[in-house]
Amino acid sequence: MEIRFATSDIEELYTEEKGAERYPPEVVSAFFRRVDLIRNAIDERDLRALKGVRFEKLRGSDRYSMRLNRQWRLELVFDPPQGTDKAAVIIQISKHYGD
């Protein structure tokens, strides 16, 4: 699947590791692994099959999230939302307070 980034900050984290100091090291490592998982997926069904990443649609939104660790999530959307040649747009790394 094609990967795009919603902001230059998140793209620079992926391409240059710029801004990595804002996150715990294990979150940055997990971020790189999740982006690779998304890149290798055909569509979101492949991501749903990976139970450990807790891929899920966020309520009341067109966004999805994937677990990076117990506190941090990777948020993304699909462009176009329905269609054959989807691209995943990485929105942000966010702190999750539900666990």
What's residue 99's pLDDT?
47
User: Is the pTM above the cut of 0.85?
Assistant: yes
Q: Are 89 and 6 in contact (CB under 8 A)?
A: yes
What domains are defined for the chain?
2-95 (3.30.2310.20)
Residue (of 63, 77, 90) closest to 6 by Cα position: 90
pLDDT tens by residue, 38-97: 999 988 889 999 888 999 999 999 999 999 999 999 999 998 765 567 899 999 999 976
